[in-house]
Amino acid sequence: MEKIRNYINGELVEPISKAYIDNVDPSRGKVYSLIPDSDERDVELAVAAAKAAFKEWSNTPKEKRARILQRISFLIEENLDKLALIESVDNGKPLHLAKTVDIPRAAANFNFYATGILHYSAHAHSMEDTAINYTLRQPVGVAGCISPWNLPLYLFTWKIAPALASGCTVVAKPSEVTPMTAYLLSEICITAGLPKGVLNIVHGLGPKVGNAIVSSKDVPLISFTGGTKTGAHIASVAAPMFKKLSLELGGKNPNIIFADCDYEKMLSTTMHSSFSNQGQICLCGSRIFVERSIYEKFKTDFVERAKKLTVGPPTNADTKVGAVVSKSHMEKILSYVELAQQEGGKVLCGGKRKIVEGEFKDGFYIEPTIIEGLAYDCRTNQEEIFGPVVTIMPFDKEEEVLMMANSTMYGLASTVWTQDITKATRVANEIHAGIVWINCWLLRDLRTPFGGVKSSGVGREGGFEAFDFFTEPKNVCIKIK
Ligand code: NDP
């Protein structure tokens, strides 16, 4: 069975403990590779390598750094089919999704930040004839990057690429649930000629490896994407050490559908925003508010389409909904369906594990699930489920739907459907969220800042904000008179 290795100081190495954890293919429910069960000792080696490489990497001309990062981008593109297949086995997501979204976006992340850094500039301020102030932006040092399992390579590279482009060196940990594409990325980095120690990838468990990265006195910056509870723990460790911190956390995103929307476009996009990647995208809409006059029609059409979605093995061409990422996650999702029923909800479709025939019979499949009849403030409508489960609720007035939409502790993303641009803009202004999509979903220019408000996170990644995060401003004042 294949053993994944850590990538430390330019080499692929075994964990010091020589211990491994099972890596399960969620579409079959079977172990298919082994992940290093690394600990603080491996993290210490990785941090030492990153620290040693920092001086040279941060002083490498931007053009040279950009060329190496672009080479990584090309190699990801060249290996698209292989990476997509591995990501879909590791994660359970439909292969076509990995091919068209996850892997191309990972390549785009490297290309975007490689070229972006060439155009990133700092400010100068003149105090008339007294002095000139200029701001130097210097890379912070060793960046700790920790990412989740839902969009494995996409989110991993979303952190690593701007960190490396900015001149930081990196110690990174992918989710232990989906480590395989990060492992292939380490091979790609070696082929691309990334100098040793510039990027180090340590595999293993969050409480061991993740915690060791966050606690290291030699890692002054943490970029984390994951659950809100983990984020709170990380903040409690990092804050007393005054680390720079970016936290991209959970969501419970509202879709607000007005009766005057383009109905067909809304319906097909809502299918995607509800069930893409088995609902395991932090930006999926999970609470759907529909204006009462079209509620019954929407309910009938939405349920009918959801029932037609093919749930099955990720590699089947007609699969629209693959496996959820793990057995424990499947059990968590199903426990929320049970809770919803206890809270008075009616399951309109799905709600159960689906058993797929043959070699996939032990895989973790859940039918797309739509629930109605719940109060906006019950637990099902307040807590993140992170699976193919959505609730639908009617509304009468704009103020009422805004109150319900804004009632959770989260504030990551939202979607508004209406042809009335004035109303759309007004509602967008009032929604507590880092992103509002009007008549679309998941469209994003990489130059825009990305992140949530309230318990969905602090800090912004994306765009040139990412360079601001991975660098420290130093103001230099020159007296000229
Ligand atoms: P977790 O918070 O469980 O894990 C995220 C990462 O943190 C993993 O690599 C995990 O390792 C690691 N980790 C766990 N415990 C610690 C610790 N004590 N110290 C340091 N690192 C630790 O999240 P999930 O992987 O379950 O991902 C799903 C969550 O991510 C959802 O809540 C989702 O909304 C959120 N998310 C947010 C996004 C955003 O942009 N706002 C985007 C995508 C997802 P291990 O896997 O080994 O436990």
Q: What is the pLDDT of residues 100-124, one digit of tens each?
A: 999 999 999 999 999 999 999 988 9
Torsion angle, alpha carbons of 384, 252, 225, 104, to 10: 110
User: What residues contact 89, with CB distance under 8 A and at least 6 apart?
Assistant: 25, 27, 32, 180, 314
Rounded to the nearest whole angstrom, what is the distance from the C-alpha of residue 224 to the centroid of ligand 1? 8
Q: Which residues contact 372 (CB under 8 A, 6 or more apart)?
A: 299, 345, 346, 348, 391, 392, 393
Measure the N-to-C terminal CA separation of the chain; round to a whole number of Å.
Answer: 71
Cα 57 to the center of its chain, rounded Å = 27
d(CA 324, CA 94): 10
* pLDDT, position 461: 85
**Is 227 a pocket residue for ligand 1 (Cβ < 6 Å)?**
yes
- Tokens linked to 359: 């070699």
Torsion over CA: 463, 467, 472, 477 (sign): negative
Nearest-CA residue for ligand 1 atom 34 is 250
The whole-angstrom separation of Cα 185 and Cα 354 is 33
Per-residue pLDDT of 407-432, as tens digits, reads 999 999 999 999 999 999 999 999 99
pLDDT at 447: 92
Q: At what angle do helices 80-91 and 62-78 cross, to 10 degrees?
A: 70
Residue with CA closest to ligand 1 atom 45: 206
Residue 336 tokens read as: 């929320």
pLDDT tens, 11-28? 999 999 999 999 999 999
Mutate to test the pocket of ligand 1, among 178, 219, 282, 453 (most ligand atoms within 8 A of CB): 282
Residue of minimum CA distance from atom 40 in ligand 1: 248
Contact 303, 391 (CB under 8 A): no
Q: Please tell me the predicted confidence (pLDDT) of residue 407.
A: 98
Distance CA 130, CA 316 (A): 70
Determine if ligand 1 sits within 6 Å of the CB of residue 344: no
Counting every residue written for the chain, the total comes to 481
**Cβ proximity of 371 and 391 under 8 Å:** yes
pLDDT in tens, 122-168: 889 999 999 999 999 999 999 999 999 999 999 999 999 999 999 99
**Does the beta carbon of 175 lie inside 6 Å of ligand 1?**
yes
Give the residue from 220, 222, 372 showing the smallest Cα distance to 289: 372
Q: How many Cβ atoms are within 10 Å of 158's Cβ, its own excluded?
A: 27
Nearest atom (ligand 1) to Cα of 457: 41
**Looking at residue 462, what is its pLDDT?**
86
Please check whether residue 43 is in contact with residue 171, taking contact to mean a CB–CB distance below 8 angstroms: yes
Per-residue confidence (pLDDT) for residue 395, from 0 to 100 = 98
Ligand 1 proximity of 148 Cβ (cutoff 6 Å): yes
Q: In sequence order, what are the residues at sequence separation of 6 or more whose Cβ sits closer than 8 angstroms to the Cβ of residue 477? A: 131, 132, 133
Token output for 370: 């739509």
For ligand 1, the distance from its centroid to the CA atom of residue 146, given in whole angstroms, is 8
Pairing relationship of beta strands 471-479 and 131-139 according to DSSP bridges: antiparallel
Segment 313-362, tens digit of pLDDT: 999 999 999 999 999 999 999 999 999 999 999 999 999 999 998 999 99
Active-site annotation, residues: 248, 282
Is the CB of residue 250 below 6 angstroms from any atom belonging to ligand 1?
Answer: yes
Q: C-alpha angle with apex 435: 84 to 350, nearest 5 degrees?
A: 60
Cβ-contact 179, 210 below 8 angstroms: no
Candidates 154, 175, 202, 409: which one to mutate for ligand 1, based on the most atoms within 8 Å of Cβ?
Answer: 175
The answer to whether 436 touches 418, Cβ cutoff 8 Å, is no
227-273 pLDDT, tens digit per residue, is: 999 999 999 999 999 999 999 999 999 999 999 999 999 999 999 99
**pLDDT score recorded for residue 459:** 87
Query: Is 177's pLDDT higher than 90?
Result: yes
Rounded to 5 degrees, φ, ψ at 293 are -65, -25
Q: Does any ligand 1 atom lie closer than 6 A to the CB of residue 210?
A: yes
Residues in a beta bridge with 135: 475
How much is the pLDDT for 334? Answer: 98
Instruction: Give the chain's mean pLDDT.
Output: 97
Residue 48: which H helix or E strand, with range? helix 40-59
Q: How far apart are CA 252 and CA 374, in angstroms?
A: 15
Residue carrying structure tokens 């088995």: 278
Q: Identify the pLDDT of residue 269.
A: 98
Quick count: other Cβ atoms within 10 Å of Cβ 307? 13
For the full predicted model, state whether its pTM sits above 0.85: yes
Which residues make beta-bridge pairs with 22? 34
What is the H or E stretch that residue 50 is in?
helix 40-59
Of 230, 283, 465, the one to substitute when testing ligand 1's pocket (max ligand atoms within 8 A of C-beta) is 230
pLDDT of residue 122: 87
Q: What is the structure's pLDDT at 160?
A: 98
For residues 78-107, average pLDDT: 97
Which pLDDT band holds residue 182 (cuts at 50, 70, 90)? Answer: very high
Name which of 231, 259, 266, 274 is nearest 410 in CA terms.
231
Backbone angles phi and psi of 393, in degrees to 5: -145, 140
Q: Is the CB of 182 under 6 A from ligand 1?
A: no
Q: Map out the domains of the chain with their CATH numbers.
A: 2-249+456-477 (3.40.605.10), 253-445 (3.40.309.10)
For residue 37, the CA-to-ligand 1 centroid distance in Å is 17
Percent of the chain at pLDDT > 90 equals 97
Ligand 1, residue 450: give the atom nearest the CA. Answer: 40
Count other Cβ atoms within 10 Å, centred on residue 448. Answer: 11
pLDDT at 15: 98
Residue 1, pLDDT > 90, answer: no
**pLDDT given at position 460:** 86
Q: What's the token pair of residue 182?
A: 């990060």
Going by their DSSP bridges, the two strands 353-354 and 365-366 should be labelled as antiparallel
H helices, E strands: number in the chain: 16, 23
Name, in order, each residue with C-beta under 8 angstroms of 269's C-beta and a sequence gap of 6 or more.
415, 440, 441
Question: What pLDDT sits at residue 324?
Answer: 98
Q: What are the φ/ψ torsions at residue 223 (nearest 5 degrees)?
A: -115, 115
Structure tokens at 122: 């700092």
pLDDT, tens digit, for every residue of 374-391? Answer: 999 999 999 999 999 999
pLDDT in tens, 284-308: 999 999 999 999 999 999 999 999 9
By CB atoms closer than 10 A (0-12, 13-18, 19+), residue 445 is exposed
- Greatest Cα pair distance, the chain, in angstroms, is 82
